[in-house]
Amino acid sequence: MSDVTETGGPLRHFRMDRRAVLTSLAGGVGAAMLATRASAAHVHGAAATQAAAAATSVADSTLQFLDQHGFDTLAILAEQIVPGARAAAVPEFLDRLLAVESLETQKSFMQALGAFEAEARAANGVPWKALTPPQATALLTTISTQPDSDASRQAFDRIKGAVAETYFQTETGMKELGWDGSVTFTPPTNLCG
């Protein structure tokens, strides 16, 4: 792995030392993602229909790291956190990037997704991708306003950081920030005189 990947990039929010990974796993946060796979097959009726309609997902065969449920969850979360992220292919990029990341970074990312799954199931009894837009907005508001020390808030900050950083490095995101497509920028005006 290159030095750039080790020190920066959208997934730097998920890097942690070995002790933090083991402590987090012992705390059970990572177990939520395992439960997600097992229970994803049990989603029936309107929730399954809504989940399928809400997640404009890619086929399993094109995914590099995430399973379909994880990808769909990330795609919905990305769009809810940064509107336009789905059209800018942020979830696809993060999936490919995760495929070449360290095991610790992969675990940390999956724990963050698992935290969202756990919150959705605790609050509404369904996976994140089956939440209605008002339910998701209410839950995101609750999670994002928790103290910085809260595990769900930390998961939110990590996912938000990766999604926002990836989005604002795309052409669409850069234009949203004011980039006009030129390679060079105009020099600053003289403010002193």
73 near 113, Cβ under 8 Å?
yes
Angstrom CA distances, 160 to 78, 112, 155, stand at 8, 10, 8
Q: What is the mean pLDDT of residues 121-135?
A: 96
The number of angstroms, rounded, from the C-alpha of 111 to the middle of its chain's C-alpha atoms is: 11
pLDDT of residue 18: 42
In degrees, to the nearest 5, what angle opens at C-alpha 80 toward C-alphas 74 and 85?
A: 70
pLDDT digits (tens, 9 = 90+) for 145-154: 999 999 999 9
> Both tokens of residue 190?
């003289």
pLDDT digits (tens, 9 = 90+) for 84-117: 999 999 999 999 999 999 999 999 999 999 999 9
User: Distance (Å, rounded) from C-alpha 180 to C-alpha 189?
Assistant: 18
188 near 103, Cβ under 8 Å?
no
pTM over 0.75: no
Q: Which of 37 and 11 is assigned the larger pLDDT? A: 11
In the predicted structure, residue 22 carries a pLDDT above the cut 50:
no
Q: Return contacts of 179-187, CB within 8 angstroms, 24+ apart.
A: none
